[in-house]
Amino acid sequence: MVVETARSQACAESDVVIRVRGLTMGFGDRVLMRDLDFEVCRGEIFVILGGSGSGKSTLLKHMIGLYRPQAGHIWVGGADIAVADGAQREAILRRVGVMYQMGALFGSMTLLENVRLPLEVHTDLPREAMDAIAGSRLQLVGLGAFKDFMPAEISGGMQKRAAIARAMVLDPEVLFLDEPSAGLDPITSADLDRLIRRLARTLDMTIVIVSHELASIFAIADRVIMLDRESQGIVAEGDPAILRDTSNHPWVQRFLRRTESDDERPA
């Protein structure tokens, strides 16, 4: 498959954080995507795009080890999560943090308790140290004053921020965000975009995002890949603004310019 590209240069070998080669994913006899090849570079905001049902969130779940691929490899920091088991798999997973689409905060816990939970599971730190670390992550996302609030007592945008704080609490090398702007109003979504951009730049953090929110994509993405359900592969890769302005691929044009399909235009 020919992949349309719009990028200045490939990752230097030393800057490759995630490498995907020959990835085929699906369920049973059903194949969603075949032979995916791409890299994620250190320090970039990398966005996975695609239409409904194209497998965006499924790809993310493969990259964090929740699903096993039908074929192919996913190297995270040099280790293949597609085949890793036991202690090696645990070591790989410690390198990543995940914010799920709806935040997935525990309603019976305060924000501080939610953010502290991964430290309780994965470290032997004293409670005071765990509280200090969790509090500092809440401070980073602008929620330091809300540490004793319950999730139901704060807005949806604040819940997303708290979920990002929890995903960062173990200092992951890569932060995965699944539809971070879903369900948010435009102002709250723009505020979250600014936070994500600031975290990436000030912490030199690699962030992988699944999204279909065009305003957010153009605001924060350094590079995107675009999954196409029909061809079961990646049809475009690169700077989203350059792809929008220069792409010759009809589906890429329609997606990034938010235009109707030809067969849906009024007579």
| CA–CA dist 202, 227 (Å, integer) | 30
- pLDDT confidence of residue 81: 87
- pLDDT confidence of residue 66: 87
Residue 266, judged by CB atoms within 10 A of its CB (0-12, 13-18, 19+), counts as exposed
| CA–CA dist 39, 204 (Å, integer) | 17
Task: Confirm whether 243 is domain-assigned.
Answer: yes
In the DSSP assignment, the letter for residue 143 is -
- pLDDT confidence of residue 181: 87
Task: Confirm whether 3 is domain-assigned.
Answer: no
Task: Confirm whether 156 is domain-assigned.
Answer: yes
Asked if 254 and 261 count as a contact pair (C-beta separation under 8 A), the reply is yes
Beta carbons within 8 Å of 14's beta carbon, 6+ residues apart: none
pLDDT tens for residues 221-244? 999 999 998 889 999 999 999 999
Q: Which amino acid is at 110?
A: T
Give residue for tokens 């030809």.
262
Radius of gyration of the CA atoms of the chain, in A: 19
Asked if 96 and 64 count as a contact pair (C-beta separation under 8 A), the reply is yes
Task: Confirm whether 7 is domain-assigned.
Answer: no
- pLDDT confidence of residue 6: 59
Task: Confirm whether 182 is domain-assigned.
Answer: yes
Task: Confirm whether 76 is domain-assigned.
Answer: no
pLDDT tens for residues 115-143? 999 999 889 999 999 999 999 999 999 99
| pLDDT: which is higher, 39 or 65 | 39
> Is the predicted pLDDT of residue 2 greater than 60, yes or no?
no
Residue 180, CB half-sphere, CA atoms under 13 Å: how many? Answer: 32
> Is the predicted pLDDT of residue 8 greater than 50, yes or no?
no
On average, the pLDDT of the chain sits at 89
- CATH at 157: 3.40.50.300
E-strand ranges in the chain read: 4-6, 16-27, 30-41, 45-50, 71-76, 79-80, 96-99, 174-178, 206-210, 223-228, 233-238
| CA–CA dist 267, 265 (Å, integer) | 6
Asked if 155 and 103 count as a contact pair (C-beta separation under 8 A), the reply is no
Instruction: Please report which helix (H) or strand (E) contains residue 156, including its range.
Output: helix 156-168
Task: Confirm whether 225 is domain-assigned.
Answer: yes
> Is the predicted pLDDT of residue 265 greater than 50, yes or no?
no
Per the structure, the count of domains in the chain is 1
User: Per-residue confidence at 69, pLDDT binned at 50, 70, 90?
Assistant: very high
Instruction: Please report which helix (H) or strand (E) contains residue 148, including its range.
Output: none
User: Per-residue confidence at 12, pLDDT binned at 50, 70, 90?
Assistant: confident
Task: Confirm whether 99 is domain-assigned.
Answer: yes
Largest CA distance in the chain: 69
Instruction: Please report which helix (H) or strand (E) contains residue 116, including its range.
Output: helix 111-122
Q: In 10 A of CB 4, how many CB atoms? A: 16
For residue 108, the enclosing domain spans 42-64+93-257
- pLDDT confidence of residue 266: 39
Q: In 10 A of CB 31, how many CB atoms? A: 14
Residue 192, judged by CB atoms within 10 A of its CB (0-12, 13-18, 19+), counts as buried
| CA–CA dist 118, 98 (Å, integer) | 11
- pLDDT confidence of residue 65: 87
